[in-house]
Amino acid sequence: MSVQTSLLLHSFRGRLALCFGGLSLLVLLSVGLYFGHMATQQLGQAAREKVHSAAQAAADLLGANLRERELEIALLSMAPHFTRGDLKNPELLESLQRRKLLRREFAWLGVADVEGQVLQASDGLLAGVSVAQRPWFMAAMKGVYVGDLHEAKLLAKLLPQQADGEPPRFIDFAAPIRDRQGRLVGVVGAHAHWNWVTETVQSTLAQRQMGGEAEILIVDKSGNVLYPRALAGNAQLPKGVPEGAASSVARWNDGIEYLSSEVPVSAGTSSDLGWRIVVRQSIDLALAPAHELRRQLLALGLAAALLATLVAIWLARSISRPIEQLATAARRVQQRSDAPRYPAAGGLQEIDQLSEAMRSMTDSLLSHERELEALNQTLEQQVQQRTEALAAANAELERLATRDALTGLANRRSFDERLLACFQTARRTGRGFALLLLDADHFKRVNDQHGHTVGDQVLQQLGQLLKASIRSIDLAARYGGEEFAVLLPETAGLDEAAAVADKIRAAVALADFPAVGRMTISVGVASWHAADTDPLRLVQRADKGLYAAKGAGRNQVMVEKATT
């Protein structure tokens, strides 16, 4: 150890820097390691819960959909036009065709007599063919049936070829048809696309934003993978995948460790398929955020420790400097290196006087600081008051700029902005929306007979009925005079929009308007079409529908379809 280092360690500055820096380094590293460990544990647990919740959600959703389709076929078999016993009745075919049109998951629906001959079927497929030896027919002769995954080679020849070239696969739903005396007269059956099942479970990963990070599998009761097709026929699931519990790490056949969770599909159907949903995610991807956080915390801890050490050295130097200066001055007085006019006693007296002067100056500064602090507080309060007043004024201006003063609904300007936004979103994403234009029938008569004050009250009540009849994401606006508009985002099509319009029309027709009695409205309905070049096309169609409703006698809902 050099003489300079020895003197530094025995000096006040050296020991203060060593103690302060060492303590700061120890505290920062200890706290950083502790919180880093806690944070990575929590992130790891969150990753496990995310994988398990995705598997649980997919299993629940698939189970509910399977049960719903089973109930749908069971209820179809008990429909009046089925239980009359005439299985060749055209109403049955219409019902099958309508069901297939509304439910895209059904590839085929048909009815067969007790001999197994298909009497009627959607699109005429397999009509006249015997299905007496098919498992779904034999099982449905005894009760409601849900069948496992299979290939239907005969039906596959009649259906369009899939884009990937793979043979189509289906699951079966079937139920017995009994006449009103309880006698078995036939069977109604349906083949559902396997793609409907896979899209159902895959949607849960998309909803949790795990599409590119995790993989979802459907496994049968024997442990064979049904989906995805690339893994079908592989060995059974590895040991260590928990069923119905939190996820755990397991090594799969590809030699990669995955964070995996398995949940049984509890459909509650008449036939227990024994399917299970497995969600797996590469352990490297699953715990990547935890590892990255650990690296960041370690780097941050080291940087903070280095900074603390530098600050400790700086503080030690700052604290020791005045003492060192006083010690030097004392040594100079003691050694008489300066002029003899600075004796030792006089030097101590000057330090006392300096200390007293500094103390007095400090008191004065503190007094001024308190005054400045009080002044700053007053200024801050005034600034805060002015800021709050300005915010309130801006909020009121925003309300006045976007709301109709009479009805409290959105005004024309706000409606036009929202309509343009919906139109742009629809063109970008393909998700449609609908527009309703509503007009109060014979409103001029209300103003003429009862006065404009009563007319304003009628408009206010119409606005309240509109808000009460739509969803929170919809927008009701006063379009002008007695005319109103309603935007319906995320609306599937004209049928759904027409149902909303009729709900509003009925609510108005049943309402009691003070001093007026009953009022009715006419409604025009239009929905966005991909061929629309601007929002005005949609408004024109809705307006055309409104005039058609007026022309049809008022108190009507008219739908105007787009022409390509």
Give the tens place of pLDDT for each residue, 70-119. Answer: 999 999 889 998 999 889 999 999 999 999 888 888 989 999 999 999 99
Residue 379 has pLDDT above 70, yes or no: no
Q: What is the structure's pLDDT at 220?
A: 84
Q: Where are the domains of the chain?
A: 16-308, 347-398, 412-559
- 219 pLDDT tier (thresholds 50, 70, 90): confident
Reply yes or no: is the peptide bond before residue 90 cis, omega within 30 of 0: no
Reduced to 3 states (helix: H, G, I; strand: E, B; else coil), residue 130 is strand
Task: Provide the mean pLDDT of the chain.
Answer: 80
Q: What is the structure's pLDDT at 478?
A: 95
Give Cβ neighbours of residue 158 (< 8 Å, ≥ 6 apart). 125, 126
Give Cβ neighbours of residue 346 (< 8 Å, ≥ 6 apart). 333
| Residue appearing with tokens 């915010």 | 391
Q: Do 412-559 and 16-308 have the same topology in CATH? A: no
C-alpha to C-alpha distance for 501 and 509, rounded to whole angstroms: 12
Q: What is the structure's pLDDT at 440?
A: 95
CB-neighbour burial class of residue 378 (10 A; exposed 0-12, middle 13-18, buried 19+): exposed
- 342 pLDDT tier (thresholds 50, 70, 90): very low
Closest CA to 172 of 152, 192, 194: 192
Mean pLDDT for the stretch of residues 202-220:
77
Q: What is the pLDDT of residues 463-515, one digit of tens each?
A: 999 999 999 999 999 998 899 999 999 987 899 999 999 999 999 999 999 98
Q: In this structure, which topology does domain 16-308 adopt according to CATH? A: Beta-Lactamase (3.30.450)
pTM for this prediction: 0.49
70 is catalytic: no
Q: What is the structure's pLDDT at 315?
A: 65
C-alpha to C-alpha distance for 35 and 475, rounded to whole angstroms: 47
Length of the chain: 564
Q: What is the structure's pLDDT at 486?
A: 97
Which value, to the nearest 10 degrees, does the dihedral of the CA atoms of residues 411, 415, 417, 420 take? -160
Q: b/e string for 478-500 if b means 16 or more Cβ within 10 A?
A: bbeebbbbbbbbebeebeebbeb
Residue 444 has pLDDT above 90, yes or no: yes
Q: What is the CATH number of domain 412-559?
A: 3.30.70.270
Sign of CA dihedral 421, 422, 427, 428: positive
Q: Of these residues, 482, 483, 490, 560, which one is catalytic?
A: 482
Most confident of 31-45, 74-88, 225-239, 536-550: 536-550
- Strand intervals (E) in 158-256: 169-178, 184-193, 215-219, 225-227, 248-251
| Residue appearing with tokens 């508009």 | 485
Closest CA to 17 of 304, 302, 305, 311: 311
Residue 549 corresponds to which tokens in the numbers above?
């409703």
Residue 3 has pLDDT above 60, yes or no: no
Q: What is the structure's pLDDT at 45?
A: 75
Q: What is the pLDDT of residues 21-76, one digit of tens each?
A: 677 667 656 665 665 566 666 766 777 788 888 888 888 888 899 899 999 999 98
Q: What is the pLDDT of residues 121-149, one digit of tens each?
A: 999 888 989 999 999 999 999 999 998 88
Q: What is the structure's pLDDT at 2?
A: 56
Q: Name the percent of the chain lying above pLDDT 90.
A: 38
Q: Name the percent of the chain lying above pLDDT 70.
A: 71
C-alpha to C-alpha distance for 127 and 129, rounded to whole angstroms: 5
